[in-house]
Chains A and B, each alone.
Chain A
Amino acid sequence: MFLDTSDIQAIWLTIRLASIVTAILLVVGTPVAWWLARSRSRWKGPISATVALPLVLPPSVLGFYLLLAMGPNGPLGHLTSALGIGALPFTFWGLVLASVFYSLPFMVQPLQNAFESIGDRPMEVAATLGASPLDTFFTVALPMALPGYLTASILTFAHTVGEFGVVLMIGGNIPGATRVASVQIYDHVEALEYAQAHRMAAVMLIFSFIVLLALYAWRPNARNLLRRG
């Protein structure tokens, strides 16, 4: 067998995590990106900076603060235990929440660019024709921003797959719940199981290359979408 069952379990878990995070961020990222693209509020700067933070911060910083915030003595931990959900660290949904923060800029920034490049004109025309703002969004903006959505989804998915530092800090390495592919590879390397590490690393390498190749083949200027922030 090329990969053993624990490797395959880790890969499936990673795919599940990345899919759920992408789905959540599509819903959460859209209003944020829309607002950032169209607002002239003085809050635009601080909000943009907050969204972009995970691009700059070391994952260990983010992971450490999430561990403290989601722990029993942290604000998020108080909230989740009051809601009867219990503590989030060491659970799959804890990873989901952390990844939503971590991958936020990879969703928001391409969407924001897509919305900005549409400009005001099509919206104004739609409004003149009597369309409500919500109507305008779904029938005009959304179809025009579709390429941006694809870019954003691919980047978010791929970035979540590649996540390591944050998962290490709040995951607890539980098989089937928080032991994702990157952690599994790390374990193999640390345990000197280089053959298994090589095999899994090869799978990740090929996957990442294909994803990026597809992205660039389809949108040669995708790189520019990430430039601003």
Chain B
Amino acid sequence: MKLSKLLFIFCSLLCITSVVQAAEVNVAVAANFTAPMKQIAAEFEKETGHKVVLAFGASGKFYAQIKNGAPFQLLLSADDEKPIQLVKDGLAVADSRFTYAIGTLVLWSAKPGFVDAKGEVLSKGHFNKIAIANPKLAPYGTAAIELLTKKGLLAAITTKFVQGENISQTFQFVSTGNAELGFVALSQVMKDGAITSGSAWIVPDSMHSPIRQDAVLLATGKDNIAAKSLLEYLKSVKAKKIIRSYGYES
């Protein structure tokens, strides 16, 4: 009896001390950044001993949740609008906002040889459906619309649009072959610096405004050591290398 009691006290003390040494941070992460963030978080945990809890989802939903008291200390948004808005709302720390990754737009088909190296398949129009992310919600969708407008193809192609709610769903439409091609994120079709399957045209970034993905420290995390050091870690050479390997610029 006594021994188990002692053991219990000992364990409790152990728990308390470990909490004091290593903090925990809850991060809301845009779905398109899932893979690189998992890797970065693992490295960060190994190096610092802090604990990172990741939640993946749509930035708009995270915004609504944060406004209503969600327990996140850090937001890695899929755009720069939501972090800016959160700062305006007084829910985020103004000078903490920075661009952690710049997305690359790619026209992609699951079929090999379907998309040519210059994206001329667009003007030929020999495809059933073209998937884009909802331009109202997703920066990749906005960029695709900008590109098509610039090329003068928007009016001709609009009737073939199918819209994903986010870039993951858009990718799903194309990868299942339901849309023959679509505008997705390079990070979705690239691994270790090469296109993994199908055919793709990497859209030159001069054709649309940059797809900025901003991170911001939330007001709830302004005294959280782990949140602050993770934010710094995202700017490190090591993190940037991981981010680039997934097809983002940083």
Contact = CB atoms under 8 A, between A and B. Distances in A.
A105 to B, nearest CB: 26
A168 B165 contact: yes
A93 B182 CA distance: 23
Name the interface size band of chain A. Answer: 20 to 34
Interface in B171-187: 172-173, 176-179
B177 A72 contact: yes
Interface string B7-47: 00000000000000000000000000000000000000000
Contacts of B173: 67, 89, 172
A190 interface: yes
A168 B176 CA distance: 15
Contacts, number: 66
B73 interface: no
B178 A87 contact: yes
B162 interface: yes
A192 B165 contact: no
Interface in A163-187: 168-169, 172-174, 183, 186-187
A67 B172 contact: yes
A174 B60 contact: no
20 contacts: A67-B172, A67-B173, A67-B178, A68-B176, A73-B177, A89-B162, A89-B178, A90-B162, A90-B178, A172-B131, A172-B161, A173-B134, A173-B163, A187-B134, A187-B136, A189-B64, A190-B58, A190-B165, A191-B60, A192-B63
Given A87-B178, A90-B178, A183-B165, 17 more contacts: A67-B173, A67-B176, A68-B176, A70-B178, A71-B176, A71-B177, A71-B178, A72-B177, A90-B162, A168-B169, A173-B134, A189-B60, A189-B64, A190-B136, A190-B165, A191-B136, A192-B85
